Structure 1
Amino acid sequence: MELTPLFPFEPTSTEAIPVGPQWIGQVKWDGVRILTYYDGHEVKLFNRKLNERTFHYPEVTDLHSYCRADSVILDGEIIALGSDGKPSFYEVMRRDGLRRLEKVPQVQKLVPVTYMVFDVLYWNHEWVTSYPLSERQQLLGKIITPTPHVQLVENFPDGDALYRVVEAQGMEGIIMKDASSSYLINGKDQRWRKKKYYRDLIAVVGGVTLRDHIVNSLLLGLFDQQGSFWYIGHAGTGKLTHTDWRAFTERIQPLVQQKMSFVNKPPRAANTLWIQPEITVKIKFAEWKEGHSLRQPSIQGFVDIPPHQCVLE
């Protein structure tokens, strides 16, 4: 087995929650999708965009503390809790977004994480992606020993009831999975479906506004299939602290430009500082308004995703 990263199985979006004895529900955690690879010699971690995260999460790379395997590929999500006790994308990005890896031990103490494992693709030199999900989960139950930093994701038989709980708690949403489903590498289909309580997307920052020389809001955009960059809304609220805004103000200095990159002119653009569309950010929002603009956008955290992948669907 070579430690070659794979694009994981992705769910399709749905509004209707499927019902039937073959469907299981799982909480959709507001974290970072991570696949763990162990070839019998070394452990490596990669996210769903195939960016390596091996050194960001030493709790997970200590594989023998929670997994019995000669070789294995696990699929799951790294989460971190906010002050309200709920998964926080902002908090987990304090770990995932680290660029200076010598800071990992320090931030590890400040932001503890948990690896929520929900699938296995490979075990003891054998691919198990063709096995039904129910059998892959039985295998997980045999080889994974939960620890404070590694947990198995729980199944729920009633998707509607699970969604009502998630909605009441203000969490991200649910995933419904067909228990007979094989694991589809590098693809998505309706055997896995996601229903979000709120919507989110990854947008590109094309401009900013300032207050007292510090950035206080972002002008967001997405590219179309032809590569044109479209404004989709302003966001100034969310989870960024004053320290985050100061650091971001310094970060954009090399990207400032005279020309606006958007093909459509944003409202209230008179005092905007235009920047090259290179920084990406996760945005939570209520809905799309007419004209492809976001209602109630809220900043969740900056992400390491190439801007050209942020495309209007």
Structure 2
Amino acid sequence: MKLARVVETSAAVAATRSRKTKTAELGALLDEATADEIPTVVAWLSGVIGQGRLGVGWRSLSSMGGAPAGEPTLTVDGVDEVFDRLAGAHGPGSATLRKDLLIEMFGAATEAEQGFLRRLMTGELRQGALAGVMVDAIASASGQPLDLVRRAHMLTGSLPETASLAVHGGADALAAVGLQVGRAVAPMLATPADSLADAVVTLGPDVVVDFKLDGARVQVHRRGDEVSVYTRSLRDITSAVPDIVEVARQLPCNAVILDGETLTLDADGRPRPFQDTMSRFGSAGVADDDPAALLRPFFFDCLHLDGIDLIDRPLTERLDALTALAADLRIPSVVNPTVEEAQSHLDAALAAGHEGVMVKSLAGPYAAGRRGKAWQKVKPVHTFDLVVLGAEWGSGRRTGFLSNLHLGARDPDGGPPIMVGKTFKGLTDKLLQWQTDEFPKHESHRDSYTVYLRPEIVVEIELDGVQRSSRYPGGVALRFARVVRYRPDKTVDEADTVETIRALLPDS
């Protein structure tokens, strides 16, 4: 298959907001691809390169322009081979080899292909091929049942692998996919509740109410002495969290998959600032004389235990397994509370320094990778994870610092983030300095007032509400927005959508 055909489909998908049209365009492309090409095409149109890190930075790619080719000659297999060689280039002479490979590939690319390759290789390819849309397209192109394709993707966490199973193995291969200890599972996500009382009544009477810890999501896998720890974005951080690994190795079992949170605690047991927890994710270890830097894991779900898959069992059975295995590591919770008892639990969570509570149906299975009503989060104020689109230079005491943030919400149809407001509130001197140092590394362009960023940085914003506004493309404006913290544990694809923001409108 010619690369030009992939580029053409990418442009067509980006040009429409219709999920049906996106699925049709992607399905048609996959119909034309060979069985061996499909995983690569699926990966690219999902904005992913199968080889992972290529050792090529933005600066190197920005200089790769030159006169484009007049006719398309590049193929999917040919470009994938170049990516193999880039990823495998190491040692003396590797920089020269990478440069030569890039010059040759970009020199053979048309203008449209050059733009596609540059965006793909820098992680900026966001043409709306969301996972759900791609799953639909894989099912359509392979002729396999959509439910089977969705489940295989949920359990593999990989669209290319799912596509390969669907095309090469069919329904039997898809149905055979199960939980695999050591392979990360897409985490189940929660939706904001209208209120605590509404969540308890709607999901009740059989519910559990957990503390919502001010920590980072972790998924812990263990088989024998082999332990793997993953973030909510499925990044393997095992080597950076030896303290969690040691806790997992002490559990009285042979094989387990646990879902939970981790955080660092003060001597009195209160959570330390979120930034302290996140700084540990980039560390190779902990000093023996600094017990406060230890990451403490707390779990709220058990997906597998000693050969038994629990992911499809009701939450009540999963919690029974978790309690039998590690009752002392369970997140504080109350089962089947009245509204008044749930409120007392929320008050206790806030008093202990945590974010709020999670209300969960005890009857529900673990719907990995989905936001469903079975899990609802309750916080005392509205907080959203938004994308930093730019920052304006400050004035007065902030002169010389990047200050006022341009904020965007995720487009649910996969397009670029949609601007919904600005804020300079909540920024400490430390954050101002960090922004001024960090933002230029993500710069796309600038003018005399503003540095505009590639959509790569997620920030948690607290606000009092929203109002209708024609000033911003999202049609809403944030009221009294202030910065809570940056979220290096989250990708842009995990930011809140503009629909979630609009849901706060009084008459929505």
Q: TM-score, normalised by structure 1?
A: 0.80
What is the SS of the residue equivalent to 1:18? Answer: helix
Q: How does 1:77-116 map to 2 (within 5 A)?
A: 77-81=261-265, 85-86=270-271, 88-96=273-281, 98=282, 101-102=283-284, 104-105=285-286, 111-116=293-298
Distance of 2:191 and 2:344 partners within structure 1: 20
Distance of 2:435 and 2:259 partners within structure 1: 32
Structure of higher RCO (CA pairs closer than 8 Å, 6+ residues apart): 1
Alignment correspondent of 2:454? 276
Residues 109, 41 of structure 1: alpha-carbon distance in 2 compared, 3 angstrom cutoff: closer
Residues 43, 241 of structure 1: alpha-carbon distance in 2 compared, 3 angstrom cutoff: farther
Distance of 2:338 and 2:272 partners within structure 1: 22
Alignment correspondent of 2:492? 307
1:242 is matched by which residue type in structure 2? D
**Deviation of 1:17 (Å):** 2.6
Quick check: which one's helix share is greater? Answer: 2
Which protein shows a greater Rg?
2
Unmatched tracts of structure 1, length 5 or more: 261-269
Residues 248, 302 of structure 1: alpha-carbon distance in 2 compared, 3 angstrom cutoff: farther
What is the SS of the residue equivalent to 2:454? Answer: strand
Alignment correspondent of 2:333? 155
Distance of 2:494 and 2:300 partners within structure 1: 26
Alignment correspondent of 2:390? 207
Residues 300, 163 of structure 1: alpha-carbon distance in 2 compared, 3 angstrom cutoff: farther
Distance of 2:331 and 2:292 partners within structure 1: 24
**Deviation of 1:140 (Å):** 1.6
- Residue from 280, 289, 296 that aligns with 2:467: 289
Answer yes or no: is the 8 Å Cα contact 1:94–1:111 preserved in 2: no
Distance of 1:306 and 1:54 partners within structure 2: 19
Alignment correspondent of 1:120? 302
What is the SS of the residue equivalent to 1:17? Answer: helix
Is 1:40 aligned to residue 220 of structure 2?
no
**Deviations along 1:248-273, whole A, 9 cap, x unmatched?**
3222223335458xxxxxxxxx7333
Unmatched tracts of structure 2, length 5 or more: 1-179, 470-475, 500-508
What is the SS of the residue equivalent to 2:235? Answer: coil
**Deviations along 1:86-123, whole A, 9 cap, x unmatched?**
56434323334x3xx34x42597564432121110001
Alignment correspondent of 1:263? none
Residues 188, 248 of structure 1: alpha-carbon distance in 2 compared, 3 angstrom cutoff: closer
**Deviation of 1:127 (Å):** 0.6
Q: TM-score, normalised by structure 2?
A: 0.52
- Residue from 246, 251, 254 that aligns with 2:438: 251
Residues 67, 83 of structure 1: alpha-carbon distance in 2 compared, 3 angstrom cutoff: closer
Q: How does 1:261-272 map to 2 (within 5 A)?
A: 271-272=449-450
Answer yes or no: is the 8 Å Cα contact 1:71–1:123 preserved in 2: yes
Distance of 1:162 and 1:201 partners within structure 2: 23
**Deviations along 1:192-226, whole A, 9 cap, x unmatched?**
22222222222221222332322333221124336
Answer yes or no: is the 8 Å Cα contact 1:66–1:144 preserved in 2: no
**Deviation of 1:61 (Å):** 0.9
**Deviations along 1:137-159, whole A, 9 cap, x unmatched?**
2222221163xxxx212222234
Number of matched pairs: 295
Is 1:13 aligned to residue 201 of structure 2?
no
